Amino acid sequence: MVQERTLPTFNAATTQITKEEGLRLYEDMVLGRLFEDKCAEMYYRGKMFGFVHLYNGQEAVSTGVIQAMRPGEDFVSSTYRDHVHALSAGVPAREVMAELFGKATGCSKGRGGSMHMFSAEHGLLGGYAFVAEGIPVAAGAAFTSKYRREVMGDKNADQVTACFFGDGAANNGQFFETLNMAALWKLPIIFVVENNKWAIGMSHERATSQPEIYKKASVFNMVGVEVDGMDVLAVRAVAQAAVARARAGEGPTLIEALTYRFRGHSLADPDEMRSKAEKEFWFSRDPIKKFAAYLIEQNLADEAELKAIDRKIQEVIDDAVKFAESSPEPDPSELYRFVFAEDE
């Protein structure tokens, strides 16, 4: 068994953020956390069906990367754990919740459910149920940006694509094939490995011959970075550098964010595989609590301001549930609609 990796250190003093930026990052993480908490409640009350995979604990990765991009202009490719990526990308909480309820007002018109969030308007390329399925799709989006800019002469086509996937996906063929193409073609893409240590019930250290995923970038002559995925400022810093490189035409970056999911693999998972000691270690590094303490310590916010944000976001979540409950079911007459692209 490979020994526990030491979390990478990050000097917050090297990153300057304004109060506005700090509160925006905090609000985005709280939105993700409270949304997922409400999802668990709704699932156990029988309002949601099928598999629901929650993101609790990993919020610093979604916020740190997507908020370093241009939400609504750049592209985001997700996984089956996609609710929070959708929220960070700007998809309204109402639309995400309605999708989870299978309603016509959902971002995928009630057709996608938990694992297939999609929003063309917000640059969300989709959630993907198959492991590593979204990696080549993300490369296709990045290729589109490069082709439009360099071949068709569209100077505004400087979009960057962020491709999220888990540690388990880094053992799949799509990972290696796509990284090779992305490096050869210098695609404007960021590969973000959310290494939460577990692929369902399989420990990451037992599943791969090289547990340090970021080192695999060297094989493709690509920049590889390891970051503490529980530190939103650390994630944001490496993401900003990767975005700048991609937008400047310098090619892709592989970011391995060391993080942890606070709940089981899905809401149907009793979570009996992970040790109590391991969970407690990571619970003590809660990214939201950690960042809240930082904001107060740096005099960027006080407890009253942060609690006000918590209350505001809770109202947003409660409103999203009411909206989802009152929204109509998809019309049976449109059963075959959206199977094929429609003329605009």
Question: Domain holding 36: CATH number?
Answer: 3.40.50.970
Q: Does 338 reside within a domain? A: no
Residue 3 has a pLDDT of 44
Which residues on neighbouring strands pair with residue 163, listed in sequence order? Answer: 77, 191
Structural domain boundaries enclosing 45: 17-297+307-327
Give the number of other CB atoms < 10 A from CB of residue 173: 9
Find out whether 203 and 167 touch, Cβ atoms under 8 Å: no
The amino acid present at 194, given as its one-letter code, is E
* 242 is a domain residue: yes
Q: By the 8 A CB rule, do 234 and 64 touch? A: yes
Specify the 3-state DSSP secondary structure of 76.
Answer: strand
Contact 306, 292 (CB under 8 A): yes
- Give dist(CA 18, CA 304) in Å, integer: 18
pLDDT of amino acid 341: 84
Enumerate residue ranges in the chain where pLDDT < 50.
Answer: 1-3, 12-13
Rounded Cα gap, residues 224 and 241, in angstroms: 12
Question: Rg (Cα) of the chain, in Å, rounded?
Answer: 19
86 within domain boundaries: yes
pLDDT computed for residue 339 by the predictor: 86
Report d(CA 141, CA 161) in Å as an integer: 7
Evaluate whether residue 343 is within a structural domain.
Answer: no
Tokens of 29: 């993480």
What would the pLDDT profile of 10-67 be if each residue is shown by its tens digit? 554 456 899 999 999 999 999 999 999 999 999 999 999 889 999 999 999 999 999 9
Q: In this structure, is residue 340 part of a structural domain?
A: no
* Number of separate domains in the chain: 1
Q: Tell me whether residue 111 is in a domain.
A: yes
Question: So what's the pLDDT on residue 2?
Answer: 38
In a domain, 337, yes or no: no
Domain membership of residue 341 (yes or no) is no
